[in-house]
Chain A
Amino acid sequence: DGGITQSPKYLFRKEGQNVTLSCEQNLNHDAMYWYRQDPGQGLRLIYYSQIVNDFQKGDIAEGYSVSREKKESFPLTVTSAQKNPTAFYLCASSNDNSGANVLTFGAGSRLTVL
């Protein structure tokens, strides 16, 4: 089955530690995205990548970093510079060539800072 796999599902971090969230897709989509979800808020875009070896900051990129070395993979690192990292993180991809703007989401990773 085609889809997006995020890991780990749950992650606990001590303050001052960097953590990396994995996102892998087998949909052959060019574009990939990272969103942050907090209770009572809509999804906010952290970073996106429209092509391998290229990525752009979204609305809330501070304290986060990404890489896009392979088309299938778009890992997100939450650094110690992120002031409030506890949140639900969603990875998504899209086939932007279709012009339909439809996002396919992974199941998410819940990060808790202790």
Chain B
Amino acid sequence: AQSVTQLDSHVSVSEGTPVLLRCNYSSSYSPSLFWYVQHPNKGLQLLLKYTSAATLVKGINGFEAEFKKSETSFHLTKPSAHMSDAAEYFCVVGKTGGATNKLIFGTGTLLAVQP
């Protein structure tokens, strides 16, 4: 069985300060983990993915995430927030080598960036 929990439904940061969006997962298998971003009234765009290679994964737009098996976490970070980062972020868990239709989406974290 698999599940994913995004610990914060809303996060607010000031422009230029670090971003931390938290994601914990549960999986009976070797997990694949993803972060997607969704701007208002748009589709989701892949930020990054972890598939059992390096535990620190770098994505687009300066985002990165670290896979920590001991903590069952896959938190998303960015050193310095930009106004354009304001969006909703989804953590997604799957099974390495498993079917795409079995992906499980978190409930999302809405990131607000204050000027």
Q: Is B112 an interface residue (CB 8 A)?
A: no
B-chain residues with CB within 8 Å of residue A102 when the two chains form the complex: 34, 46, 49
Question: C-beta contact mask, A1-12 vs B, less than 8 Å → 1, else 0?
Answer: 000101001000
Q: Which residues of B contact A88 (CB under 8 A)?
A: 41
In the assembled complex, the Cα of A108 lies from the Cα of B42 at a distance in Å of 6
Q: Are B46 and A106 in contact (CB under 8 A)?
A: no
Tell me, in angstroms, the Cα distance from A44 to B7 when the chains sit together.
19
- The count of chain A contact residues (Cβ–Cβ below 8 Å) is 31
Which residue on chain B has the smallest CB distance to residue A3?
Answer: B43
Q: Give the distance to chain B from A47, nearest Cβ to Cβ, in Å.
A: 10
B contact residues, total (Cβ < 8 Å):
26
**Interface presence of A68 (CB below 8 A):** no
CB distance from A48 to the nearest CB of B (A): 5
Contact (Cβ within 8 A) A101 B100 = yes
Q: Which residue of A lies closest to B110 (CB)?
A: A40
Q: A42-B108, A48-B101 are in contact. Are A100 and B51 (CB under 8 A)?
A: yes
Residues from 7 to 57 in A contacting B, C-beta threshold 8 Å = 9, 31, 33, 40-45, 48, 50, 56
| Beta-carbon nearest neighbor of B45 in chain A | A105
B32 at the binding interface (Cβ < 8 Å): yes
Give the A-binding residues of B (Cβ under 8 A). 4, 9, 32, 34, 36, 41-46, 49, 51, 90, 94, 97-101, 103-108
19 A–B contacts from the bound complex (CB under 8 Å): A31-B100, A31-B101, A40-B107, A40-B108, A42-B4, A42-B104, A42-B105, A42-B107, A44-B105, A88-B41, A90-B44, A94-B100, A96-B99, A100-B49, A101-B98, A101-B99, A103-B36, A105-B43, A108-B43
Instruction: Give the top 8 A-B pairs by smallest Cβ distance, nearest first.
Output: A105-B43, A42-B105, A43-B105, A101-B100, A105-B44, A48-B101, A94-B100, A107-B43
Interface residues in chain A, defined as those with a beta carbon under 8 Å from any beta carbon in chain B = 4, 6, 9, 31, 33, 40-45, 48, 50, 56, 58, 88, 90, 92, 94, 96, 99-108, 110
